[in-house]
Chains A and B, each alone.
Chain A
Amino acid sequence: MAVTKLFGAAIKRREDPRLITGRGNFTDHIRLPGTLVMAIKRSPHAHARIVRIDTSKARAMRGVVAVYTGQDLVDKLAPVPCAWLIPDSDLKLTPYRAVAVDKVRYVGDAVAVVVAEDRYVAQDAVEAIDVEYEVLPAVVDQEKAMEPGAPQLYDEIPNNLAFHWKLHVGDFDAVWNEAEVRLSRRLINHRLIPTAMEPRGALAAYNPGSGELTIWCTSQNPHVHRLLLSAVTGLPETRIRVIATDVGGGFGSKIPMYAGEMIAAAISRDLGRPIKWIETRQENYVATIHGRDHIQYVDIAARRDGTITGVRVRAYANMGAYLSTAAPGVPTWLFGLMLQGAYAIPVIHCDVYGVLTNTTPTDAYRGAGRPEATYLLERMIDILARELGMDPAEIRRKNFIPKDRFPYTTPTGLQYDSGDYEATLNRALELVDYANLRRQQAELRQQGRYIGIGFSTYVEVCGLAPSQAAGAMGFQGGLWESATVRVHPTGKVTVFTGSNPHGQGEETTFAQLVADELGVPFEDVEIIHGDTEMVPFGMGTYGSRSTAVGGAALVAACRKVKEKAQRIAAHLLEVSPEDLAFENGRFFVKGAPDRGMTFQEVALQAYLAWKLPRDIEPGLEATHFWDPVNNTFPFGCHICVVEVDPETGKVDFLKYVAVDDVGNVINPMIVDGQVHGGIAQGLAQAVYEYAAYDANGQLLSASLMDYAIPKASMLPSFTVDRTVTPTPVNPMGVKGAGETGTIASTPAVVNAVIDALAPFGIEHIDMPLTPERIWRAVRERSS
């Protein structure tokens, strides 16, 4: 019975058959008898005082069970929490009521809640609630919000400034004064909407008899939600069970604690009935977090040979109307720490202003802070290359942290674990056939055709760690992960992981890890996640951490199990444990391979416990809480090739090459899928997606008709390749792979378009590079 090694095998995702045949089990699929449906009345105004709420018509409707206003819930729910209390930044927390009490601060802010027998009645009743508002002037733009005389969201937060975060390393003024080349630019990293395929929702069932609350909800981190729900409802966490069954995508948007889930919990407790709330797509657009929205002022100091000597950034981060759960950490730590990118830049000077505006709150969205840093650097290095007449590939090579300097301590205090940046650049240049491409570009320009080649040589930080660092950064949580490996008497294995995959395929990759570690068939391994009553406390899935941290916890737990099994086998075989070897799922005596026991035989003996040594407990399971010593730092080079039609502004994608290094790869098919999806999302930021507000704070792109999620036909084919530089941070040598594509692709695409437009003297256009924006830029330069 030979068991082949599964680490590295492109096994199809075992979760897919159920998901693509409609047999998934999402929150909205859960049915409980006696369930009432909840719907939320939301503000159509961006900023207004609530003068009066008349719920009488709604209450009188047949099928309506209850109507709640903000005032009705004040005693039942604490404010929506913010859990990233960044230090030394004069952070001002926003009093964020799940249902607004006296004032609404963005279009979509909850003003009342209806509970009804069915969804249709609930929706009609929401519309029957009459709210009288005193409309106040609104502010949408973060720079305008800081100006004197701007509308104030909170009396107690002057100039709408929630925080001012600083990271100053080295003497920037000195390098600036000495610099041979100085570049200053303003870049906009616009607002995006995560748009998970499954909207958010919850089914909250409070049992008045036992005093227990069970809540099924769309969560990336069920234990974190349990803890926060405990904090806002006052129920001890021992009485709260959070279950996230299948979750249809998150991209960060299902990390925060939101009003909707909190309200469902409080009302279920109030009425003693199960309450289901599933947001509509329109609600998803206004009331689930948005991402990015940075205005950046960047100064780059460099020498004439292309060496960058310092970077200074002043960034204005639009936080929206309230501080969402992890929001303050995103534009600060996750952004500022990565400002040197893949380059040996010695001086970093960063100031971030977190500004409140009358818009939907922003928080972590795929990449979270790193795309903002990477875009800024990759854009500026291209501008610098053009200024110096250097090739964009060569200026990057010039500034790379060389491979013999790893582990590399960055000026911002991170320790880059391992890397060979030049290898990914070289491989990508080869795949894209760079020299030929440049020749072709020059020839085509003669014919009035404009192709452009765009680079992005990124490094990103994944599997955020260690927990001590979390404490220093003000993150109100740990950064470890848990796993329990339970071997049953037949040798079948159930894994309970604190990670909570919602599209990442860990039911497959984790089973691969276990099958290898324990030598059991892949089919014999079940992965359980998402239920706080079943799995040990865990941190969940975000920040490309599940494999690097959750997988490491799992491998460590497997090794504890294997060690115990080996001791049992040794006892039964009457040898010492050191005399045993383990191969293909079988323990055997070194030098006498006939004398042995399979893992399954040992498992049975562990449960029978007829002949166990006195110092070994019956059963065969282990739990491990893995707190990594460091982050992992995947990196790579993406090259995008486009043709731009200057007459219409249309961008055609000719080639897209991605060479990533995510360390060792457990399942190349799944990593390819992550990279493809990531590129699609990042490319979409560059040319399609845009969360647009009008000056009054109305979200103009609040539907799938208006917010341009790309279709497959709007994307090029991706050529994906990898180099492998394992990390020493975990036993598998794996880095994160979930966000690399999103982080790398946006600047690669923009750099390509700008390169194509070089003959027109165009040096920058802010995203998204829609045909209109390109056409206008070309017209402006041509006239």
Chain B
Amino acid sequence: MKISGSYTIRAGRDAVFARLTDPQAIASCLPGVEDLNQVAPDQYEMAMTVAIGPVKGTFTGKVQLADINPPESYRMAIEGQGKPGFARGNGIVQLRAIDDQTTEIVYEGDVELGGPFAGVAQRMLGGVAKRMIEQFFSCIERQMGASA
């Protein structure tokens, strides 16, 4: 399933980029993340609880950042397995400076579900994924507001 959208943060592009690729920020802002450990440069292991409709479960998997091109863009691949099945996501995040203090984040990606998760949750996936992404960015924005 294709997912895309954009989010605007009131902060400069360099700062936003640094924050988005900071494992601590990811761990604290991505909803449901219980554990995030760096296992290699730009590669992390993660445990995350996700609920989509009636299906809820903990996924363990990997997050890989690639093609890091500060402060403009990076790729992110997430792969998780858990009780309700598996999830795979792959996407590109691009940052555009609207002005010195405003950055637009444009994201585009593909999410794939498997197992029972796919059977009951697929039709709600788009909405849930979008909400999680928005929560992530708004949390990043809040943190940046707090630290600024």
**Residue from the list A43, A127, A698 in contact with B119, Cβ < 8 A:** A698
User: Mask for A656-681, Cβ within 8 A of B = 1, else 0?
Assistant: 00000000000000000000000000
Is A416 in contact with chain B by the CB < 8 A criterion? no
In the complex formed, the residue of A with least CB distance to B83 is: A127
A184 to B135: give the CA distance in the assembly, Å.
53
Centre residue among B53, B54, B112, B115 by max chain A CB count within 10 A: B115
Tell me which of B83, B116, B118, B122 has the highest count of chain A C-beta atoms within 10 A of its own C-beta.
B116
Most chain B beta-carbon neighbours within 10 Å: one of A698, A700, A706: A698
Residues of A within 8 A of B116 (CB): 44, 282, 702
Is B120 part of the binding interface, using a Cβ–Cβ cutoff of 8 Å?
yes
Residues of A within 8 A of B123 (CB): 700, 706
- Please tell me if A45 contacts chain B, counting CB pairs below 8 Å: yes
Q: Report A-chain residues with C-beta under 8 Å of the C-beta of B113.
A: 698
- Complex contacts, B107 vs chain A, CB 8 Å: none
CA distance A282 to B54 in the complex (A): 12
Question: Within the complex, what minimum Cβ distance (angstroms) separates A542 from chain B?
Answer: 27
Q: Which residues in A have their C-beta under 8 angstroms from that of B85?
A: 44
B114 CB within 8 Å of chain A:
yes
| Docked pose: A698 CA to B123 CA in angstroms | 12
Q: A282: which B residues are within 8 A, CB to CB?
A: 116, 119-120
Contact, CB under 8 Å: A694 / B122 = yes
- Option from A45, A127, A705 in Cβ contact (under 8 Å) with B120: A705
CB contact between A107 and one of B53, B83, B115, B122 (< 8 Å): that residue: B115
B44 within 8 A of A: no
Question: What CA separation (Å) do A285 and B118 show in the bound complex?
Answer: 12
1/0 per residue, CB under 8 A from A, across B83-100: the answer is 101100000000000000
Q: Does the CB pair A286–B119 fall under 8 Å?
A: yes
C-alpha spacing A44/B122, complex, angstroms: 14
CA of A699 to CA of B120, assembled, Å: 9
Asked if B119 and A706 sit within 8 Å, CB to CB, the answer is yes
Report whether A44 and B114 are in contact in the complex, using a CB–CB cutoff of 8 Å.
Answer: yes
Interface string of A700-712 (1 = CB under 8 A from B): 1111011000000
A35 within 8 A of B: no
Q: Which of A696, A700, A702, A703 contacts B112 (CB 8 A)?
A: A696
A768 to chain B, nearest CB (A): 15
Q: Are B120 and A698 in contact (CB under 8 A)?
A: no
A101 CA / B98 CA spacing, docked (Å)? 57
Interface centre among B53, B85, B113, B120 (most CB of A within 10 A): B120
A694 touches which of B54, B83, B86, B118 (Cβ 8 Å): B118
Minimum CB–CB distance from A702 to chain B (whole Å) comes to: 2
Separation of A285 and B119 alpha carbons in the complex (Å): 9
A695 closest partner in B (C-beta)? B112
Please, which residues of chain A bring their CB within 8 A of the CB of B114?
Answer: 44-45, 107, 696, 698
| Cα distance A268–B131 in the bound complex, in angstroms | 48
CB distance from A61 to the nearest CB of B (A): 14
- Residues A700 and B83 in contact, CB atoms below 8 Å apart: no
Residues of A near B83 (CB, < 8 A) are: 127
Q: A698 contacts which chain B residues (CB < 8 A)?
A: 113-115, 118-119, 122
Docked pose: A350 CA to B118 CA in angstroms: 37
Contact with A along B1-36 (1 / 0, CB 8 A): 000000000000000000000000000000000000
Q: In the complex, which residues of chain B have a beta carbon less than 8 angstroms from the beta carbon of A706?
A: 119-120, 122-123
A706 and B117 CA atoms in complex are apart in Å by 12
Contact B122 A700 (CB under 8 A): yes
Q: A282-B120, A700-B122, A700-B123 are in contact. Are A44 and B115 (CB under 8 A)?
A: yes
Residues of B97-148 whose CB lies within 8 A of A: 112-120, 122-123
Given A44-B85, A44-B86, A127-B83, A699 contacting B119 (CB threshold 8 A): yes
Binary B-proximity of A93-132 (CB < 8 A = 1, otherwise 0): 0000000000000010000000000000000000100000
Across the interface, name the chain B residue whose C-beta is closest to A703: B120
User: Could you tell me if A703 and B118 are in contact, using CB atoms closer than 8 angstroms?
Assistant: no
Among residues of B, the one whose C-beta sits closest to the C-beta of A130 is B81
Contact with B along A276-294 (1 / 0, CB 8 A): 0000001001100000000
Nearest chain B CB to A304 CB, angstrom units:
48
Contacts of A696 in B (CB 8 A): 112, 114
Q: Which residues of B contact A703 (CB under 8 A)?
A: 119-120
Q: Which residue of the partner chain B has the closest CB to A132?
A: B81
B74 CB → nearest A CB, Å: 25
Output the nearest chain A residue to B123 by Cβ-Cβ distance. Answer: A706
Complex alpha-carbon distance, A700 and B112, angstroms: 12
User: Smallest distance from the beta carbon of B54 to chain A beta carbons, Å?
Assistant: 8
Bound Cα distance from A43 to B85, whole angstroms: 9
B36-65 Cβ-contact flags toward A at 8 Å (1 or 0): 000000000000000001100000000000
Q: A700: which B residues are within 8 A, CB to CB?
A: 118-119, 122-123
Quote the shortest CB–CB distance from A288 to chain B (angstroms): 14
Residues 737-774 of A, flagged 1 when their CB comes within 8 A of B and 0 if not, give 00000000000000000000000000000000000000
A44-B114, A45-B114, A696-B112 known; A702+B120 contact, CB < 8 A: yes
The complex places the Cα of A694 from the Cα of B86 at a distance, in Å, of 15
Q: Decide: A701 and B112 in contact? CB cutoff 8 A.
A: no
Scan residues 287-340 of chain A and give those whose CB is less than 8 A from a CB of chain B.
none
Tell me the complex Cα distance, A558–B113, Å: 59
- A701 CA to B122 CA, complexed, in Å: 9
Name B86's closest neighbour in chain A (CB-CB): A44
A702 to B53, CA, bound (A): 14
CB neighbours of B115 from chain A (8 A): 42-44, 107, 698
Bound-complex Cα distance A282 to B120 (A): 9
- Find chain B residues with CB under 8 A from A44 CB: 85-86, 114-118
Distance in Å from the Cβ of A437 to the closest Cβ of chain B?
38
Q: Distance (Å) between the CB of A618 and the closest chain B CB?
A: 61
Quick one: which of A695-736 are within 8 Å of B by CB?
696, 698-703, 705-706
Assembly CA distance A42 to B122 (angstroms): 19
Tell me the complex Cα distance, A127–B84, Å.
8
Contact B119 A701 (CB under 8 A): yes
Instruction: For residue B87, give the distance in angstroms from its CB to the closest CB of chain A.
Output: 10
B53 — which chain A residues lie within 8 A by C-beta? 705
Give Cα distance in the complex from A286 to B117, angstroms.
12
A126-162 with Cβ < 8 A to chain B: 127
**Complex: A474 Cα to B118 Cα, angstroms:** 38
Complex interface: chain B residues within 8 A of A107 (CB)? 114-115, 118-119
The residues of A that contact B119 with a CB separation of less than 8 Å are: 107, 282, 285-286, 698-703, 706
Determine how close the nearest CB of chain A comes to the CB of B45; give it in whole angstroms.
15
Tell me the B residues contacting A by CB distance below 8 Å: 53-54, 83, 85-86, 112-120, 122-123
Which 5 pairs of residues, A with B, have the shortest CB-CB distance? A702-B119, A44-B115, A698-B118, A127-B83, A44-B114
Told that A698-B113, A702-B119, A706-B119 touch, could you supply 8 new A-B pairs with CB distance under 8 A? A44-B85, A107-B119, A282-B116, A285-B119, A699-B118, A702-B118, A705-B53, A706-B122
**18 pairs, A vs B, C-beta closer than 8 Å:** A42-B115, A44-B86, A44-B116, A107-B115, A107-B119, A282-B116, A282-B120, A285-B119, A694-B122, A696-B112, A696-B114, A698-B113, A698-B122, A700-B118, A700-B119, A700-B122, A703-B120, A705-B54
